[in-house]
Structure formats: C-alpha cells, structure tokens
C-alpha cells in the first residue's frame, strides 16, 4: 500500500503579503508543483524530502503568477451563490430551493449518510442538505457537489443517447469529472468525459456541449466539417457557443 502524503501548513512572504500554504510531500513524486485551487488556497505538491525552504523558494519563483491566480480565484468566489437556506440552485432548467436539516433520523432522509456525516436529498422543488449539526456548514459545498455528480451520472447519459443516434455515432464510455477549465472532452478511443457542472447550465447549453463532444467522434478537430456536424443537430449552435463562452469558467457552488 502506498504511503499517505505528509501534510504541513506553513506561511510564505510574497512582496508585502504573508500567505498561508499547504505542503503535500508525496512518495515517488519527482517535481515540485505550485498551484492555487478553486477556493483560492495556495498548495505545493512536492517530493517526499522537500523542505519548507524548498517549497517557499518554488512559490517565490512563481510569485507574480501565484498572486494573480489567488486574486483570480477569489474574485470568482465572490460571484458564487451564498449557500444559505432559501438560496436557489440550478438543475438544468429547474430551480431548487436550498434547505438545511440537522437530523439524520428525519423520516424523509432515511438511508446512509454521505462521507463526512451528511447527505443531500431532493423533495419536490426543495434540495435538502442534512447535517449532523447545523454548525457543519463547511461540509455543504462538498455534499452538494457529490449530489450533483450523481445527477450528472444519471441524467447526462440519457440526454446523450438520442443525440448520438442523430449523429450516427457510438461512444465507448462516459465519465463524470470536475475539470477546472473544460465542460467536456472526447478521446480518440471514444471515451467522453463530462464536467458535473453541466448540471448547472440550461438544457440548451448542456445539449450543445454534448453534441460538441459527440461530433468529435466523427471529426477530431474544429474544421468546417466538424461545425457542420454540430449545426446539423443544433442549428443555433453559434448563439449557444457565445453564451457558453460568456461564462468565464465552469460554474461553481
């Protein structure tokens, strides 16, 4: 069994700013990788023997990029919906009202809790997040993502099938992922990966992405022949494409 990474919290000074970062020392890793995650947190993934001094040096070497990425991610965080009771969350063309409940024994929420001691359950137009204690609100984004991933795994293949028949193509498999910069991708072997955040789009934009990826099964490029395939199923694809591009990054919770 592979050894678990060693994790260390530390600080680094960039210019006039002191930043916290997390150092993950990973067995058999060969290079130091500096990244800023979706929450604007600074992370260093490094070889097992990497010291804090080495980690700080790697961050400093990418200082301008790190500061720009932190501001970029945190600006998007400010645009995210506040996950509080009563806020509305999209599910394709539906809008669900978020509600919290603090009893895993409630009759509406029978079954095992999700990892982390909570679960998400839809009833009508309400999306209930059930927590062991209402103070555990930090678990809410992860619980909601897990629920949306399940919906994507059930709904997107069903939407994909008739579109594949229209295009006369067959895919090998569909996987649901959490790509940071893509809505989907298609490999030359016929494997299609879809971002779970497609469930946060309207049906028209979601279907555009599905048709886009399916068309790559015929044309692994963006040639006129490729766009002709897309347009044969979605005549207004140019309008939908513009709408999708106006979203600066995949929607997030």
pLDDT 10s digits, 42-71: 999 999 999 999 999 999 999 999 999 888
pLDDT at 83: 82
CATH superfamily entry for domain 151-245: Metalloproteases ("zincins"), catalytic domain (3.30.2010.10)
Rounded Cα distance between 206 and 197, Å, is 9
Contact between residue 194 and residue 177 where contact means Cβ atoms under 8 Å apart: yes
pTM (predicted TM-score): 0.70
Contact between residue 191 and residue 214 where contact means Cβ atoms under 8 Å apart: no
pLDDT at 35: 92
Q: Is the pLDDT of residue 115 over 50?
A: no
Q: Is the pLDDT of residue 116 over 80?
A: no
pLDDT at 166: 95
Retrieve residue 6's tokens. 């060693």
Q: Is the pLDDT of residue 72 over 60?
A: yes
Q: For residue range 87-108, what is the model confidence (pLDDT) as tens digits?
A: 999 999 999 999 988 765 555 4
Q: For residue range 28-46, what is the model confidence (pLDDT) as tens digits?
A: 889 999 999 877 889 999 9
pLDDT at 171: 93
Q: Is the pLDDT of residue 147 over 60?
A: yes
Contact between residue 251 and residue 201 where contact means Cβ atoms under 8 Å apart: yes
pLDDT at 7: 87
* Phi, psi dihedral angles at 4 (to 5 degrees): -75, 150
Mean pLDDT of 75-83: 68
pLDDT higher at 60 or 178: 60
∠ CA 92-222-251, rounded to 5°: 30
Q: Residue ranges per domain, the chain?
A: 6-79, 88-145, 151-245
**Percent of the chain clearing pLDDT 90 (strictly above):** 62
**Percent of the chain clearing pLDDT 70 (strictly above):** 86
């Amino acid at each position: 069994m592979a050894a678990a990474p060693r994790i260390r919290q530390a600080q680094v000074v960039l210019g006039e700013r002191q930043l916290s970062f997390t150092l993950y020392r990973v067995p058999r890793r060969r290079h130091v990788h500096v990244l800023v995650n979706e929450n604007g947190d600074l992370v260093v993934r490094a070889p097992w023997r990497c010291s804090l001094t080495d980690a700080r040096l790697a961050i400093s070497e990418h200082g301008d990029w790190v500061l720009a990425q932190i501001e970029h991610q945190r600006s998007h965080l400010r645009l995210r919906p506040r996950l509080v009771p009563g806020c509305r969350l999209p599910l394709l063309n539906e809008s669900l009202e978020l509600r919290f409940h603090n009893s895993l024994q409630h009759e509406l929420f029978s079954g095992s809790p999700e990892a982390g001691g909570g679960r998400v359950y839809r009833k009508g137009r309400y999306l209930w997040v059930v927590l062991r204690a209402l103070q555990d609100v930090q678990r809410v984004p992860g619980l909601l993502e897990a629920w949306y991933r399940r919906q994507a795994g059930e709904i997107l293949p069903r939407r994909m099938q008739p579109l594949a028949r229209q295009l006369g193509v067959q895919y090998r498999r569909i996987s649901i992922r959490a790509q940071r910069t893509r809505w989907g991708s298609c490999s030359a072997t016929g494997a299609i990966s879809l971002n779970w955040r497609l469930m946060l789009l309207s049906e028209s934009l979601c279907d555009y992405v599905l048709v886009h990826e399916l068309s790559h099964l015929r044309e692994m490029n963006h040639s006129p022949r490729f766009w002709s395939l897309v347009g044969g199923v979605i005549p207004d694809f140019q309008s939908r494409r513009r709408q999708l591009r106006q979203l600066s990054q995949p929607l997030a919770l």
